[in-house]
Structure 1
Amino acid sequence: METFEEVVDQYKPYIYYFIRRYGIRDLEGEFFQLGMIGLWQAWENWDEDRASFSSYAYLCVRREMLRLLDSNSRRIAQQQAFLETVKREDFVRNDDYAVENEWLHTIRKMLTEKQWIWVNEFLIGGYSAREIAEKYGVSENAVKCWGRDARKKLKKNWNITEELNHR
């Protein structure tokens, strides 16, 4: 049997044929690479009792290219379906983010560094007191104290402890 390099030299036109046949613009070489994979699989798995090598190579190269085309078309269809369900208003929510950012900035100003760590890590980040303690090299009770002090300070300045106490 021939070496794979000899097979590539002889059957590389199959790959180019399918790229042209299906109108593929293969700027990144992805389809050519898949064609080479198909050719390799044909070379590795060919059984001379079942079919000629050229027929088998043709099928293997074609199969790999069609798999990628099918995958790409499904992905494009999913993206298209998503874009059809999304409204312009879904993307124009910058004001909410600006208000939230301003609110957090105001909270940040009134808290100490450690209290802010608790707000940022526990309330916003969703980390447990134990995880925060490990991250900052302090005891879990220290983190709980930061939270207690932050809640007191926020209660004093705003009446938002209902939400904080339920966390």
Structure 2
Amino acid sequence: MEGKQKRFTFEEIFKQNELRIHYHIHRLNIRDPHHEYYQEGLVAMWNAYEKYEPDKGPLATYFNYTIRNRLIDLMRKQNREHEKDAIYLQEQSTRMKDGNYYRRHGTAYPVMQVADTPFPYEGIDSAALWKTIKDELTENQWKWVTYHVVEGLTITAIAEQEDTSREAVKSWGKGAKRKLRRITDEGM
């Protein structure tokens, strides 16, 4: 319709077809207090008017198809946004209400108390074993054992929590592993 003269202006077409937008909003059971869906329907009608090709079918059918699908797309988009918001709010609420987190720079990290950590091997005095291990390691190596091995935190999370680089945390781990191998090879 680019090269041809349009017989009707959009304003005339709009006056004749405005109720189509309301029809589809009602038909899809949409509550539209802020007229977002009405505006989306209006834009859809404009796009259909601009792209309409008379040899492909009636304009009314094209309006119905375009308006309905744009309203459904907007509903789906808003539903996804609401779901993401609800999940995020639930996670944040849980993190802020749960007292077992250490908060730093807006991020919550789990708090671990080594004394409460059970050792998985029965028959071994776990308190004595943990004390021996802790005595052999540096402070940072002990942090790596505590956070990475026992707590299961990632290297990145430990680096953020301790305000250091990932490479530094990896270095703590290498040193700790080396010393732990030596301890186990000696047979404790």
TM-score, length of structure 1 as denominator length: 0.51
Deviations 1:84-139 (A, max 9, x none): 4334451589xxxxxxxxxxxxxxxxxxxxxxxxxxxxxxxxxxxxxxxxxxxxxx
Give the aligned partner of residue 81 of structure 1.
87
The structure 2 residue matched to 1:13, chosen from 19, 25, 44, is: 19
Give the aligned partner of residue 75 of structure 2.
69
Give the aligned partner of residue 35 of structure 1.
41
Counterpart code for 2:79: S
The structural deviation recorded for 1:71 is: 0.5
Pair member with larger Rg: 2
The structural deviation recorded for 1:16 is: 0.3
Counterpart code for 1:9: K
- By percentage of residues, which structure has more strand? 2
Aligned length: 99
Deviations 1:19-72 (A, max 9, x none): 111221211111111111011011100001111100001111112211110100
> Quick one: structure 1 residues 85 and 3, their matched pair in 2 at CA, closer, same or farther if it must change by over 3 Å?
same
Structure-2 separation of matches of 1:4 and 1:62: 19
- By percentage of residues, which structure has more helix? 1
The answer on 1:59 being equivalent to 2:65 is: yes
Give the aligned partner of residue 109 of structure 1.
none
Give the aligned partner of residue 10 of structure 2.
4
Structure-1 separation of matches of 2:95 and 2:69: 42
> What aligned pairs does 1:132-143 form with structure 2 within 5 A after superposition?
none
Percent sequence identity over aligned pairs: 26
The answer on 1:49 being equivalent to 2:79 is: no
The structural deviation recorded for 1:74 is: 0.6
TM-score, length of structure 2 as denominator length: 0.46
Unaligned runs of 5+ in 2: 1-6, 100-188
Unaligned runs of 5+ in 1: 94-167
